[in-house]
Every structure is written in C-alpha cells, then in structure tokens.
Copies of this chain bind each other. A is one copy, B any other.
Amino acid sequence: MDANPVFKALADATRRKLLDRLRASNGQTLGELCEPLDMSRQAATKHLVILENAGLVVAVWRGREKLHYLNPVPIHEIYERWIGKFERQRLRALHDLKKQLEDPS
C-alpha cells in the first residue's frame, strides 16, 4: 500500500467530513453527499475522486446513480504501520515518567 495518497486525502477537512458522513450512512449517492456542503457539485466530486484514488471510498454504479461506500482498511493500515509506532513510544514515555515520579532518586 502507498500510504502517501491516504495521508494526503485525510489532510482536507471537507474530505474528512465526507468520510464521517459515509461512516454515519454508507452507500450514499453523489447528490446526497455533496448537497449539505457549501460548494459546487463538481468541487465535491473532485474530493470524492481523491478519496477513491486513496482507496478510502469505493463507488458502484446503480443506473444513473453512483453509490459511495466507505472502506476503512487504508485508515487501519495507517494505524497499524505508522501511528502504532508512535503510540508505543508514547506509552513507553508515560511509563518512564511514572517510574521517575515513584522513585525520584
């Protein structure tokens, strides 16, 4: 997996909002997704394409409608391969701090 497109896709607040809205209600059409955003349909489409290219959203056609589904796997992989390392470092630091407070010699 190439993590860079995923990080790039997550860097925009509008795109994170789209993911949040898909998490709340999966399988929405393009029209449903971009209706509450205060930007043009075409702008929202561009964001969704970026999310699709990152693998975060999968779209299927039903007639003239395009249904969008959330794919949480890339976010999971980011966590597993990258964020997890920093979590372990953080927990180690907390542990060391605790030891230091218990035995300030």
Contact = CB atoms under 8 A, between A and B. Distances in A.
Interface stretch (A27-35, A84-92, A97-105): A84-92
Q: Is the contact region of chain A dominated by helix, strand, or loop, or is it mixed?
A: helix
Interface string A63-105: 0000000101101101100110111011001000000000000
Given A8-B11, A72-B86, 16 more contacts: A7-B11, A10-B10, A11-B11, A16-B82, A23-B86, A23-B89, A70-B86, A72-B87, A72-B90, A73-B90, A75-B83, A75-B87, A75-B90, A76-B90, A78-B83, A79-B79
Interface of A: 4, 7-8, 10-11, 13, 16, 19, 23, 70, 72-73, 75-76, 78-79, 82-83, 85-87, 89-90, 93
